[in-house]
Structure 1
Amino acid sequence: METLNDFIGTHMIYTYDNGWEYEMYVKNENTIDYRIHSGMVAGRWVKEQRADIVQIVEGVYKISWTEPTGTDVSLNFVPDKNIMHGVIFFPKWVHERPDITVCYQNDYIDLMEASREKYETYPKYVVPEFATITYVGQPGIDNEQVVALAPYEGMTQDIRDGKLVF
């Protein structure tokens, strides 16, 4: 990948050094869809998350966003080297009550916003981690089939094995 246009439309699976496995689809120039397969908020999935998506230098891309939960995320991807570094800034309430966020967020935006207002947000639980990218696919831009199902046990392996094709 050399340009931002090469990165847009990319689908990736990555595992943080702490063992958490995530999946990201760069849906278009300002939107991502993602699923969380393991870790503190395993089972969470989101479509149509607005994000700032930029190219830092050739082959290095940054995606940053704020979720309705108040969680801030900034991820740096180097797909050609299978490396990612991210920082997740979880509000105190998400760290203490991650179960509230484990859902298809799009159906629970009101609950996420209400929880953000109801519970403490500070201090933030900051998770800076490197990750290994274990899958890179190119399903293209605005492919609604990429993140269309809730995460399930073994899904990421099914994707890597070509059992789920988008």
Structure 2
Amino acid sequence: MTKTFKTLDDFLGTHFIYTYDNGWEYEWYAKNDHTVDYRIHGGMVAGRWVKDQEANIVMLTEGIYKVAWTEPTGTDVALDFLPNENKVNGTIFFPKWVQDHPEITVTFQNDHIDLMEASREKYATYPKLVVPEFAHITYTGDAGQNNEDVIAEAPYKGLPDDIRNGQYFDQNYHRINK
């Protein structure tokens, strides 16, 4: 995709895959002006995926966007997207319990909100593990807003490559193998 990002509307509906400098790989979708979906393919919570996460999404200046949210786990996330430069700067604030028990979060979060909230109350929150990293965008796709096919199944080995190689979505940005 060779789109130039200028407005917030250019950003909304965009699907990204990016890899942090620490090697963690994430897939992220700006579903609409207040919701994001994502899958985590690498790092301490690889295998986790989330749909319909409420988020604050703004354009800071032409082509630069900030997205921030708090998960039911108590994890706070702040991402700055510079898609015209294929860059992301992210800071993730993991509660102590996620650092100590990441396996609890490695699931489809939407089906386990009660477990995430209970774990947040049961285990230690502080000190938080702060992970500030730059990332390189390795894929950008124009999925359109509110496309339920973008993040619709658990992450699996090779999924990001299937997407990058054009083997996951058809020309209308719908999953090929449902």
Tell me the TM-score normalized by structure 1. 0.99
1:124 counterpart = 2:156: no
Match of 2:93 in 1: 89
CA-atom RMSD in angstroms: 0.4
1:60 counterpart = 2:64: yes
Report the Cα offset of residue 58 of structure 1: 0.5
1:138 counterpart = 2:121: no
Q: How many corresponding residue pairs?
A: 166
Instruction: Structure 1: state its 5+ residue gaps.
Output: none
Q: Which residue of the other structure, out of 17, 38, 54, is the alignment partner of 1:13?
A: 17
Distance in 2, matches of 1:60 and 1:96, equals 34
Report the Cα offset of residue 65 of structure 1: 0.1
Q: Which residue of the other structure, out of 4, 7, 14, is the alignment partner of 1:3?
A: 7
Report the Cα offset of residue 131 of structure 1: 0.2
Report the Cα offset of residue 80 of structure 1: 0.8
- Helix, strand or coil for the counterpart of 2:118? helix
Match of 2:55 in 1: 51
Match of 2:114 in 1: 110
Could you tell me which amino acid in structure 2 is paired with residue 61 of structure 1? Y
Report the Cα offset of residue 9 of structure 1: 0.2
1:70 counterpart = 2:65: no
After superposing on structure 2, the runs of 4+ consecutive aligned residues of structure 1 that deviate more than 6 Å are none
- Helix, strand or coil for the counterpart of 2:78? strand
Distance in 2, matches of 1:85 and 1:139, equals 22
Report the Cα offset of residue 122 of structure 1: 0.5
Report the Cα offset of residue 107 of structure 1: 0.3
* Deviations 1:16-54 (CA, angstroms, capped at 9, x unpaired): 000000000000000000000010000000000000000
Could you tell me which amino acid in structure 1 is paired with residue 12 of structure 2? I
Match of 2:157 in 1: 153
* Deviations 1:109-145 (CA, angstroms, capped at 9, x unpaired): 0000000000000010000000000000001000000
Distance in 1, matches of 2:95 and 2:78, equals 15
Could you tell me which amino acid in structure 2 is paired with residue 142 of structure 1? N
